[in-house]
Structure 1
Amino acid sequence: MLRLARAAVPGARAAGAGAGAGPPETGDALARVLGETGRPLWALEIAAFALGCARDRRAFETLVFLLNYRDPVRGGTAAHALVRLGDPRTARAAAALATNELRTAYALHPVRLLVALRAPESVPTLVAVLDRLLELPDPHWPVALACVEGLGRIGDPRARPVLARAAAQHRLRPAAEAALARTGG
């Protein structure tokens, strides 16, 4: 992805190499791509990814847009860059996307991002999403499984009640039992 950014944007040679890498005009050239109208989505994605990996907060809004996009590859790429970006707004944005009932099918990457961030919002959001999914006759299994696995990875005891309910679902049982063991339950 970074090679594409370097090829697509003149002056983007050092983008993504780390915070403060390269001359300031490198980030400025990539940020201009984000602000220009008529740019194709792939160009925005490349510029936002490079800026995010370089910890340039000008990429935040575009990365959140891509995290909410219906293409899973774009969502995964955006989540990776958002973790590297380190913006304190990220957890709140991921929580809002994960709990949006109209976008549950696209919540996989926001859920995984919350797990990676381990922010104060992570456990309450994952518990709420999983609780809501378990109420449905046919939950979005990949999202529910990501919640279960994420809660297990975090290991917070507040997740025990919802993990116990998840263990009653045959598709979630192995992951839920493992997660319960990690939470001390």
Structure 2
Amino acid sequence: MDDQLQTLARRVRGEAERAECERLLALVRRGDRAAHDELALVLTEPGRPLWMREIAAYALGCAGDRRAFETLVFLLNYRDPARGATAAAALARLGDPRTARAAATLATNELRTAYALHPIRLLAQLGAPESVPVLITTLRRLLAGPDHYWPIARACAEGLGQLGDPRARTVLTAAREFDQLRAVADKALRCL
């Protein structure tokens, strides 16, 4: 098991039935086609608890099995930051071409701005064609709005610096006007 899966397993143990958790982790360790098919059933069978779906989706996503995509996107949009981080890590490894579009949709949903940290970081990591325009648009909106959501705005500025696209110069220059963003905007501007 990789470190992230071990962290995930420790995190869900409090809500998981021990025997069922060990059975699921044994399937993950096995990693063959039959094990993947059983894990995929966890994603679709009614009544399965969220912790089971999270483990199954993470394992399948990291293995490149696209049956995990919908569950991972659901978890990426979940209010629990730990679940969002797990989903983002698996989506980055999944290699599904729908990932950037889904992350962009979540990052630009004004009703979910407070939960957009992991979609924004995922967009920066993917470097997809929609990444820079979405990060610029989101940061511009956060700078103008009454609720700035500083952690989200910082993630946008960091992502724009990571992507190094000169189109971000104007919004990053505007971000410098805010004490909470000045250092990260300066760093990002140096990367353009």
| 2:139 matched residue in structure 1 | 130
Partner of 1:19: none
Instruction: Give the Cα–Cα distance (whole angstroms) in 2 for the partners of residues 77 and 171 of structure 1.
Output: 27
Question: Are 1:45 and 2:60 matched, yes or no?
Answer: no
Rounded to whole Å, the distance in 1 between the matches of 2:92 and 2:161 is 20
- Gap regions ≥5 residues in structure 2: 10-19
Q: Could you say which residue in structure 1 is the equivalent of 2:12?
A: none
TM-score (norm 2): 0.88
Distance (Å, rounded) in 1 between the aligned partners of 2:100 and 2:28: 30
Aligned to 1:114: 123
Give the conservation status (yes or no) of the 8 Å contact 1:163–1:176. Answer: yes
Tell me what 2:76 maps to: 67
Q: State the AA in 1 paired with 2:120.
A: V
The question of whether the paired residues in 1 share the 8 Å contact of 2:157 and 2:185 is answered with yes
Question: For the Cα contact (< 8 Å) 1:152–1:179, is it kept in 2?
Answer: yes
Please report how far the alpha carbon of residue 66 of structure 1 lies from its aligned counterpart in structure 2 after TM superposition: 0.2
- Count residues in correspondence: 177
Deviation digits for residues 66-100 of structure 1, max 9, x if unmatched?
Answer: 00000000000000000010100000000000000
Query: Contact 1:11–1:25 (CA<8 Å) still a contact in 2?
Result: no
Residues 6 and 12 in structure 1, CA contact (< 8 A), matched pair in contact too: no
1:181 Cα shift? 1.1
- Residue 14 (structure 2) aligns with: none
1:149 to 139, 158, 163: 158
The answer to whether the 8 A contact 1:10-1:29 is kept is no
The 5 Å alignment of 1:60-99 reads 60-99=69-108
Greater helix percent: which structure? 2
Q: Once the 2 structures are TM-superposed, how far is the Cα of residue 136 of structure 1 from its aligned partner?
A: 1.3
Q: Structure 1 residues 179 and 2 mapped into 2: Cα distance closer, same or farther (>3 Å)? A: closer
Out of 174, 177, 181, the position equivalent to 2:186 is 177
CA 14–151 in structure 1, closer or farther in 2 if over 3 Å, else same: same
Q: Equivalent residue of 1:44, what SS?
A: helix
Pairwise CA distance, 1:138: 3.3
User: In the alignment, does 2:21 pair up with 1:12?
Assistant: no
Aligned amino acid, residue 9 of structure 1? L
TM-score by length of 1: 0.91
Q: What value does the CA root-mean-square deviation take over the aligned residues?
A: 1.6
